[in-house]
Structure 1
Amino acid sequence: MSRDTIRPDVQALLDLLATTPLAQLGELSVQETRAISKQMRTAPVDDGLVSICDISFTHSGEEIGLRCYNADNKDAPAPLILFFHGGGFVMGDLDSHHELCRTIAYEMDIPLVAVDYRLAPEHPWPAAPDDAEAAARWIVANASDELGVSLSGLVLAGDSAGANLAAVTARALIDNPADVALIGQFLIYPCVSLGQERPSMRENAEGYFLTRKALDWFTLNYNAPIDDPRFDLFAFDQTGMPPTLLVTAGLDPLRDEGRAYATCLIEAGVPTVYQEAVGNIHGCFSMVAAIPSTKRDVERALAALSVLIS
């Protein structure tokens, strides 16, 4: 067991999850896993505080959905957050992370666009990073006409697999710049690299929602080359990466690779803020309703992000 002290509300959720089919994550089929995940979502909140609209664009003959938050509230130039959801590259959609995106847009008071990139195994790697980069370039080219937003800068964000896509996209936009400056990245418990087993992968292998078995299952379905720079974040040069806020969870198997990546960015001279949600689990930023203490972690992260990109 991990030496990190578990929070009472986290333990209560884990006790509940142990009685549900999600306890078998990594053992069920892709279709079963997606269906169970959707069944367990909380109903989305629409209190009118954030304007929301769905649009799409075409890439590689596929329609890629986008959900826009706060896009019609900005007359002056403003930065925009482009968000990629987690789910192991296999699960997740615009609804799975709706509450998190809505919270970020409201608390930051800037536009946010979430990307419904194609999922594996139906669309194995590199479909996801292809879609992520295409979405970033489409937003830069079309934000004014399609969203009415005059972009002053772009922030790439995501959780878990989505954080991986955010960083991979950041590198692509640095190597081949778009017309708008990349001013930051917000990486929430990122999937960084599976090329080396670190202590948290053993300490938190079971009992904390995301298991080692589930990670192996996601990796198998995604089918990316383990050391390719469009999957392994350690495989590319970190020089010139944008200012970064990186958040890990103390009881996450991916915790130590997140810590290592933050160190890698700092050593490359990238302005980097590192935070850890001590006693919390992977996926917690999308579980605030079930883990109320996570609200403090989200608030602390968004306060740091505001300073980082100001």
Structure 2
Amino acid sequence: MMLKAEKEPSKRRQLIGILIIGLVLLTTGYCLYKPLPEGFTITKWDRVVMHVVEPALRVAYYYPSRMFSKASDMIFWTRGTLNVLTKTLGIFTTNNQLEIKWHNWNGTPVKSYRPLDNRTTTDGAVIFIHGGGFALGNVDMYDSLIGRLTVEMKTLFISIEYRLSPETVFPGGIMDCEAAIDHFFKYGPRQFGVNTSKIVIMGDSAGGNLATVITQRRAARQASPKLAGQVLIYPLLQMADMQSISYRYFRSRLQGYALVDPESVAYYYMFYAGIDMDEKAYLVPSVTSNGHIPRRLRPQVQKMLSHKSVIESVHNYRNHSVSEISAVEWSVEAQELLEPFLANPDFSPLMRDDLSNLPPTMVITCEFDILRDEGLIYAHRLKTSGVLTKAIHYENGFHAMLNFHSELDEATKAVNDIEQWTLETIARA
């Protein structure tokens, strides 16, 4: 009888413990819940996934990163956290169909991906440059995506491990990528059997910046062989206008979500420029309000952004209200520090005047992305310059969605579009 009496309190304690845990989880979920904007992904499954993933990202890196007093500590925390988290995303189960090897080309580590026994169906290749605001990310984080592209396209991929800021500043990343690419053009035919006239360069976010810059630089010096094409996936192309409608929509509707935000872009871009943001963090409000543009550069900036009015009249977020342009916080110090970079096309490739000699280009933009407008503007400028351009805008997409290529229908759609265009471009070259 005593044993039975003892078991009953024990069961009650277990039940109470389960109820307490359940209550804590429900309370936590309630506190973290933020309704996704209308149109942010479209299928029910995608929205369920993002209702789980987005709060998890907030807890894992977004909230903790805001607690650091030094900007560099914020970057290092985010870098480490994302390195771990991405290993649980985009799970691709056919890596046993791949031959993956590390190489060192002119001092730059690269990873090659090709189907086993070199069962490729093209003699071209794709050079991929990963994103991360010049400060985050690495080749391994993109293993799943690049593995999928390699298997489905049956094409050689080369992924470049360039150095990151703040340890390595502009133009270090460019130099790393160009050193590796020069090696590939010289030795690729012998090592991999590729035709160097059928090479496409591809990059996402800051990697899209580097891909754009490298393509422009090769075209400007008439480098041979020419690139067959470039794929720019929600590219980061400028920091002269951080009050475009896509930036202002973020402030109106997306503030607090674990998405790329204006302040982070300012921090990352300024670290990349070699500015010590541990000391100069007070300049961020001036940069995000466009108070960092020197008077002498304003006409040039306005010229390069002249298509902005066209973009904003067509892409207006389904007529949802967007905050007005905020008051500019002018800063002479920010202007002096950033003057060498804002109009430098190697730093802000949207600022390059002549785009006429560039190869066929695919530009991917997403509706829920502060970088949306600069991608749309660049695609428009390419078209008006006579460059064969395929611009696809994903009205339900968001920045970095390809990192969820196995989880989201919207990302799978983008992967399929990228594969089709790239294979067609290689075949035409």
Identity of aligned residues (%): 24
Name the CA distance, whole Å, in 2 between partners of 1:187 and 1:261.
10
- Structure-to-structure mapping, 1:137-286, within 5 angstroms: 137-197=182-242, 198-205=244-251, 206=255, 207=257, 209-223=259-273, 225-236=341-352, 237-286=354-403
Which residue is equivalent to 1:6?
40
Name the CA distance, whole Å, in 2 between partners of 1:26 and 1:260.
32
Which residue is equivalent to 2:132?
87
Which residue is equivalent to 1:57?
105
Which residue is equivalent to 2:405?
288
- Structure-to-structure mapping, 1:105-144, within 5 angstroms: 105-144=150-189
Cα pair distance change 1:261/1:70, threshold 3 Å = same
Name the CA distance, whole Å, in 2 between partners of 1:252 and 1:227.
23
Name the CA distance, whole Å, in 1 between partners of 2:371 and 2:346.
18
How far the C-alpha of 1:2 sits from its partner, in A, is 10
Aligned-partner residue type, residue 204 of structure 1: F
Larger radius of gyration: 2
Kept after mapping to 1: 8 A contact 2:55/2:258: no
What are the superposed Cα offsets for residues 246-290 of structure 1, whole Å, 9 maximum, x if unpaired? 101210100111101100100110011111222222111112244
How far the C-alpha of 1:214 sits from its partner, in A, is 1.2
What are the superposed Cα offsets for residues 162-181 of structure 1, whole Å, 9 maximum, x if unpaired? 01111110112112344423
* TM-score normalised per structure 2: 0.66
Name the CA distance, whole Å, in 1 between partners of 2:382 and 2:119.
32
Cα pair distance change 1:82/1:3, threshold 3 Å = same
3-state DSSP of counterpart to 1:242: coil
Cα pair distance change 1:108/1:247, threshold 3 Å = same
Q: CA RMSD in A?
A: 2.4
Matching residue within 91, 96, 106 for 1:48: 96
For structure 2, the 5+ residue unaligned runs are 1-34, 42-46, 275-340
Name the CA distance, whole Å, in 1 between partners of 2:140 and 2:149.
15
Kept after mapping to 2: 8 A contact 1:189/1:247: yes
The count of residues paired between Structure 1 and Structure 2 equals 306
Kept after mapping to 2: 8 A contact 1:245/1:272: yes
Name the CA distance, whole Å, in 2 between partners of 1:279 and 1:262.
19
Query: Does 102-111 or 16-25 show the bigger shift?
Result: 16-25
3-state DSSP of counterpart to 2:238: coil
3-state DSSP of counterpart to 1:41: helix
Kept after mapping to 2: 8 A contact 1:133/1:172: no
What are the superposed Cα offsets for residues 223-245 of structure 1, whole Å, 9 maximum, x if unpaired? 17122110211222211111001
* TM-score normalised per structure 1: 0.90
Cα pair distance change 1:147/1:33, threshold 3 Å = same
Which residue is equivalent to 1:304?
421
Kept after mapping to 2: 8 A contact 1:23/1:209: no
Kept after mapping to 2: 8 A contact 1:251/1:282: yes
Name the CA distance, whole Å, in 2 between partners of 1:75 and 1:283.
28
Query: Does 31-40 or 20-29 show the bigger shift?
Result: 20-29
Aligned-partner residue type, residue 181 of structure 2: A
Which residue is equivalent to 1:22?
62
Higher strand proportion (structure 1 or 2)? 1
How far the C-alpha of 1:4 sits from its partner, in A, is 5.9
Kept after mapping to 2: 8 A contact 1:194/1:232: yes
Query: Does 124-133 or 171-180 show the bigger shift?
Result: 171-180
Higher helix proportion (structure 1 or 2)? 2
Kept after mapping to 1: 8 A contact 2:401/2:411: yes
For structure 1, the 5+ residue unaligned runs are none
Name the CA distance, whole Å, in 2 between partners of 1:23 and 1:42.
20
What are the superposed Cα offsets for residues 38-73 of structure 1, whole Å, 9 maximum, x if unpaired? 121225645322221111123xxxx31111011761
What are the superposed Cα offsets for residues 74-106 of structure 1, whole Å, 9 maximum, x if unpaired? 689711111100000001111011111112222
Name the CA distance, whole Å, in 2 between partners of 1:307 and 1:76.
12
What are the superposed Cα offsets for residues 93-137 of structure 1, whole Å, 9 maximum, x if unpaired? 110111111122222221110000111111100001111222221
Kept after mapping to 2: 8 A contact 1:137/1:178: no
